[in-house]
């Protein structure tokens, strides 16, 4: 019987899952709509049906060893999903216990950024590293931080939320208010309001207000509403020479680079690995990030931390991340 694990990633729109072997090969995968408005009691039977159907052809030849799940607001310690902001799951859901009961194998749960970090460590750009960070640049900014070979969970299981470290800061001692953009968390100035697929669109709209009318009229951004603009559209415009779009990448990368220099002072990782929608822009985002990082990192850390892209961006990274968590449970 060949050992396999089941990796599941629950997103706000889709839930993806796959069967992964010990070498990181995805033998089969599938997707169901998450239906965010649906209570978890309706979601679970659909998930069980779909994953059991996927596993069926492997029953005679392969042995399911464990299940790993990436989910929003997931607590590794308790195996629960707690008050997810983008899902209509009430209160605290004991998701790992429900799945463990159904499949009869060890089951673990963590958030998507931590799963991405585990995947990167087992199969990707961080193989062999014991101290590294994965930054996911999607709708928000997530972070999976690995310290001494283990994901940083902290005292309560929720550590590593760098997206909600304030980037705009306390403006000196003279100004006691937190300034900056409003964040979904209820505060202002959080890093993810500047640096994420959403944040760069906010910056593009700020630039429409700030730059000269000529620059704005010459920019393709004027054809977009906030609904239709995306990081991918901005990248397309920037590649075609659009000055406003290029400035949006420059400013976003600068905030990211300074923030990562701060993170290095705290964590001193071997590498910081970028992943997700905004990372797909490649050099457009990495060049200004690296420049700001080099300019602001403390002297003692200069040259020690590499900024790089995920090695899993073209593959089913979310499933691989969840499967890395699963393999860790049976290691």
Which residues of this protein are in contact with a second copy, per CB under 8 A? 73, 82-83, 129-132, 145, 147-148, 150, 152-162, 164-174, 176, 178-181, 185-187, 189, 194, 202-203, 206, 210, 251-252, 254-255, 258-259, 262-263, 265-270, 292, 296, 298-301, 304-305
Q: Closer to a second copy at the Cβ: 20 or 263? A: 263
Distance (Å, whole) CA 93 – CA 87: 11
Is 20 in contact with 27 (CB distance < 8 Å)?
yes
Considering the complex, what minimum distance in angstroms separates the CB of residue 51 from a second copy? 28
Smallest distance from a second copy to CB 320, Å: 24
**Alpha carbon distance 138, 13 (integer Å):** 13
Residue 105 CB, nearest approach to a second copy (Å) = 26
- Rank residues 119 and 157 by Cβ distance to a second copy and give the closer one: 157
Beta bridge partners of 92: 82
Q: Helix or strand or coil: residue 123?
A: helix
Question: Least separation, in Å, of the C-beta of 194 and a second copy?
Answer: 6
Nearer residue to a second copy within complex by CB, 100 or 247: 247
> Which strand ranges, in their side-by-side order, compose the sheet holding 132-137?
150-151, 141-147, 132-137, 271-275, 306-309
DSSP per-residue string spanning 19-32: EEETTS-EEEEEEE
The minimum distance between CB 115 and a second copy, in angstroms, equals: 18
Q: How far is the CB of 331 from a second copy (least distance, A)?
A: 17
| Torsion angle of C-alpha atoms 318, 322, 324, 326, degrees rounded to 10 | -160
**Rounded CA gap, 4 and 40, in Å?**
26
68, 5 contact by CB (below 8 A): yes
- In the bound state with a second copy, the residue whose beta carbon lies nearer, of 70 and 253, is 253
Nearer residue to a second copy within complex by CB, 148 or 225 = 148
Nearer to a second copy, 45 or 303 (CB): 303
Closer residue to a second copy (CB): 27 or 165: 165
> Distance between CA atoms of 268 and 126, rounded to whole angstroms?
15
CB nearer a second copy, residue 35 or residue 188: 188
Helix spans in 56-104 (H)? 95-103
Residue 193: CB atoms within 10 Å = 27
What CA–CA distance (Å, rounded) separates 68 from 110?
Answer: 8
CB 65 → a second copy: shortest distance, Å? 25
Least distance CB 163 / a second copy (angstroms): 8
Tokens (6 digits) for 86: 């983008």
């Amino acid at each position: 019987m060949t050992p396999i694990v089941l990796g599941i990633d629950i997103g706000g729109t889709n839930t993806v899952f796959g069967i992964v072997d010990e070498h990181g090969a995805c033998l089969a995968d599938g997707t169901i709509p998450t239906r965010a408005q649906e209570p978890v009691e309706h979601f679970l039977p659909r998930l069980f049906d779909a994953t059991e159907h996927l596993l069926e052809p492997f029953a005679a030849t392969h042995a399911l060893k464990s299940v790993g799940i990436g989910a929003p607001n997931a607590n590794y310690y308790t195996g629960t999903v707690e008050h997810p902001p983008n899902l209509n799951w009430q209160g605290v859901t004991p998701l790992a216990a429900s799945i463990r009961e159904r499949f009869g194998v060890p089951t673990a749960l963590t958030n998507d950024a931590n799963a991405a970090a585990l995947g990167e460590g087992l199969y990707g750009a961080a193989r062999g590293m014991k101290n590294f960070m994965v930054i996911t640049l999607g709708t928000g900014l997530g972070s999976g931080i690995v310290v001494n070979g283990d994901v940083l969970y902290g005292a309560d299981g929720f550590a590593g939320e760098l997206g909600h470290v304030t980037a705009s800061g306390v403006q000196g001692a003279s100004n006691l208010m937190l300034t900056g953009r409003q964040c979904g968390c209820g505060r202002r100035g959080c890093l993810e309001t500047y640096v994420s697929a959403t944040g760069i669109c906010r910056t593009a709209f700020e630039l429409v207000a700030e730059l000269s009318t000529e620059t704005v009229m010459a920019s393709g951004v004027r054809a977009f509403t906030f609904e239709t603009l995306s990081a991918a559209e901005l990248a397309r415009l920037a590649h075609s020479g659009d000055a406003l779009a290029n400035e949006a990448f420059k400013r976003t990368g600068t905030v990211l680079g300074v923030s990562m220099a701060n993170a290095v002072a705290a964590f001193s990782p071997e590498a910081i690995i970028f992943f997700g929608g905004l990372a797909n822009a490649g050099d457009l985002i990495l060049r200004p990030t690296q420049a700001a990082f080099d300019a602001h990192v403390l002297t003692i850390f200069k040259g020690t931390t590499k900024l790089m892209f995920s090695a899993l961006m073209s593959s089913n990274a979310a499933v691989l991340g969840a499967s890395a968590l699963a393999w860790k449970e049976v290691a």
